[in-house]
Amino acid sequence: MLPEQLSTDLTSLGEGVDREAVVVEIVVQKDGGIAGSDVYRAVVRNHAKLAYSSVAAWLEGTAAAPPRVAAVSGMEEQLRLQDGVAEQLRHRRFEDGALTLETLEARAVFDDGVLSDLVPDGRNRAKDLIEDFMIAANGVTARYLEGKKFPSLRRVLRSPERWAQIVTLAESLGERLPAEPSNRALEELLLKRRDADPTRFADLSLSVVKLLGRGEYDLDLPGQPIEGHFGLALRDYTHSTAPNRRFPDLITQRLLKAAMTDSSPPYTVAELRALAVQCTEQEDHATKVERRVRKSAAALLLSSRIGQRFDAFVTGASPKGTYVRISRPAAEGRLVRGDHGLRVGDRVPVTLVHTDFERGFVDFART
């Protein structure tokens, strides 16, 4: 989004260099509640550049501390403290009705420059730590702007219109949900199914995510009702933590800096309303491009396996078509024959019948 010198250098927290930053300060209680918060500008210095995988392995007790953690005085204690606070925030959020979901994105594996596999890129403890703090910071940012009587771009996930289909999905698993949308009831079901069938929980999560629908950006004006985020069970939520790679975050940072100096908002209400629509549309476009790249990679990898049978589950079922996903390799494709009567979440044996790398087509037939 930004020139490379900005995005990868001057706006990044490079190790051992001073960087101007906007700090979101959060006082977290032992029960995960937020006792106080503030937003201010500061100069910060990053003392260690760390990788998710190695930090996660250390936190989970399966590997030694990364060299930079061991080399910087106080770093180990700081990360342990952050890990504990993040867990408290997460626990409180789920108590309030946030949804436990474990979707897996496929990650391309290359062997000497040749695509050799697509494997699920799962969560880990370090990723969760960062996510928990970002969610908390985004909530503080939204409330700060509201307190300053500033407009803001909220990230919302509305109450699901396809709740009836989620109810039907639950019934297929022998579970019950209320007739009206309830994130608490859905969370209870998710936790129950995760414990009962952990190997298929990612499949269930993906089905629920698709039925919940997409998030979007919406203009919030002081004094007006707020839609909130159904999946996170949050009334106040914006995107603010990645201004060097996501335009809505850059807009929010500009609003924050104006609010901190008691200046006028840098955008008119009409401009923010138009930007909310544009950011949602552009995100949809980016998501389609990412999906197309993954489909082309899957088509290339599977091109030599025409006629092979796979176990699949239905990820989408509508008049536009029925789609299924296989696990090894992690790939999604269209069911071109035998889709009658299938619903999201159904498991079905399929045979690979066609691939097209250039168009990203992977076609299956029900076996």
Whether residue 300 sits in one domain with residue 245: no
Whether residue 303 sits in one domain with residue 242: no
Give the model confidence (pLDDT) of 124-176 as tens digits: 999 999 999 999 999 999 999 999 999 999 999 999 999 999 999 999 999 99
Burial (Cβ within 10 Å: 0-12, 13-18, ≥19) of residue 307: exposed
Give the model confidence (pLDDT) of 252-270 as tens digits: 999 999 999 999 999 999 9
- pLDDT of 182: 96
- pLDDT of 2: 79
- pLDDT of 291: 87
- 103 conformational bin, left if phi > 0, alpha if psi -120 to 50, beta if neither: beta
- pLDDT of 10: 87
Query: In this structure, is the dihedral angle defined by the CA atoms of residues 186, 329, 347 and 214, taken in order, positive or negative?
Result: positive
Q: Tell me what the mean pLDDT of segment 38-58 comes to.
A: 95
d(CA 251, CA 218): 13
Domain that holds residue 365: 290-367
Q: Using an 8 Å Cβ cutoff, are 315 and 328 in contact?
A: no
Whether residue 10 sits in one domain with residue 131: yes
| DSSP β-bridge partners for residue 361 | 356
> Where residue 356 sits, what CATH number does that domain have?
2.40.50.140
Give the model confidence (pLDDT) of 283-318 as tens digits: 999 999 998 998 999 999 999 999 999 999 998 888
Residues belonging to the chain: 367
Q: Report in angstroms the alpha-carbon separations of 299 from 110, 322, 349.
A: 15, 17, 19
Whether residue 134 sits in one domain with residue 254: yes
Give the model confidence (pLDDT) of 271-282 as tens digits: 999 999 999 999
Burial (Cβ within 10 Å: 0-12, 13-18, ≥19) of residue 204: buried
- pLDDT of 206: 87
State the helix-helix crossing angle for 201-212 and 183-196, rounded to 10 degrees: 160
d(CA 48, CA 140): 26
Whether residue 297 sits in one domain with residue 263: no
Whether residue 367 sits in one domain with residue 235: no
Give the model confidence (pLDDT) of 50-76 as tens digits: 999 999 999 999 999 999 999 999 999
Q: Is residue 81 part of a domain?
A: yes
Q: Tell me what the mean pLDDT of segment 243-251 comes to.
A: 93
Structure tokens at 262: 């008691």
- pLDDT of 120: 79
The pLDDT confidence band at residue 212, using thresholds 50, 70 and 90, is: very high
Q: What is the largest CA-CA distance in the chain?
A: 66
Q: Is residue 99 part of a domain?
A: no
Whether residue 151 sits in one domain with residue 225: yes
d(CA 285, CA 174): 37
Q: Is residue 278 part of a domain?
A: no
Whether residue 364 sits in one domain with residue 220: no
Q: Report in angstroms the alpha-carbon separations of 106 from 5, 192, 225, 290.
A: 29, 26, 38, 11
Q: Is residue 177 part of a domain?
A: no
Q: Is residue 274 part of a domain?
A: no
- pLDDT of 202: 86
Q: Using an 8 Å Cβ cutoff, are 262 and 150 in contact?
A: no
Whether residue 219 sits in one domain with residue 330: no
b/e string for 213-238 if b means 16 or more Cβ within 10 A?
A: eebbbbbbeeeeebebbbbbbbebbb
**Helix extents (H) in 303-356:** none
State the total domains in the chain: 2
Q: Is residue 330 part of a domain?
A: yes
